[in-house]
Structure 1
Amino acid sequence: MDRKAFTESLTKEGFPEAVVVTREANITMDVHEHPFEAKALILEGELHIRVGDTEQVYKVGDVFQLPANKPHAERYGPNGVKYLVGRK
């Protein structure tokens, strides 16, 4: 998905303005949760998200969505990751 189509989808789904997040390479965040729903478009690098025993890899152009209060772990690829995210 491209950035314009992603931003339009966020607006249609009621997300406020998206922000760009950058994470450094090879960092791991243990299981945690957020009090908001997140929908993000990967702009650069890669992001690994593990929910339970399942890990999904997201690369440039991929979109991921997590509901509020969903326990998950994150790992950032060898070049880090940069993503555009809406939170509500």
Structure 2
Amino acid sequence: MNHPEFATLEQFTAQALSAGFDEVLERQWPPRTVLDTHTHPFALKAIVVQGEMWLTVGDATQHLRTGDHFALDREVPHAERYGEVGATYWVARRN
């Protein structure tokens, strides 16, 4: 996959680690997966590298597609919904 900012997961990882994140991984979600409101014990930033998803925080929902970025602070309640082909994103976590 070719992304203007990060051509590879390795480049994304290097940038994230230099920015103070301590864990980087690739998450793959099956088609039409729905995750009800939940929180994480870490802050994160991510880039969608395939598919699409909807991220809801409070009353605001973002429709995220390949190349879109998103970020969440630690313990922020949110819900996730994935599209017809699912989604893959690279995520950097600050534990």
Q: Provide the TM-score with structure 2 as the length reference.
A: 0.83
Does residue 84 of structure 2 align to residue 48 of structure 1?
no
Distance 1:12 1:40 in 2: 15
CA apart distance, 1:17: 4.1
Aligned CA RMSD, in angstroms, stands at: 1.5
CA apart distance, 1:26: 0.7
Distance 2:66 2:46 in 1: 11
Q: How many residues are matched?
A: 88
CA apart distance, 1:53: 1.1
Runs of 5+ consecutive residues of structure 1 not aligned to the other structure = none
Q: Percent identity?
A: 38
Contact 1:6-1:41 within 8 A present in 2 as well: no
Question: Structure 1 runs of 4+ off > 2 angstroms?
Answer: 1-9
CA apart distance, 1:18: 1.4
Distance 1:56 1:37 in 2: 18
| CA distances 1:32-71 after superposition (whole Å, capped 9, x unpaired) | 0000001111110011100111100111111110000000
Does residue 6 of structure 2 align to residue 2 of structure 1?
yes
The 1:30–1:41 alpha-carbon spacing in structure 2 relative to 1, beyond 3 Å, is: same
Distance 1:25 1:32 in 2: 19
Distance 2:57 2:29 in 1: 19
The 1:3–1:36 alpha-carbon spacing in structure 2 relative to 1, beyond 3 Å, is: farther
Map 1:3-82 onto structure 2 (within 5 A): 3-4=7-8, 6-82=12-88
Q: Provide the TM-score with structure 1 as the length reference.
A: 0.89
Runs of 5+ consecutive residues of structure 2 not aligned to the other structure = none
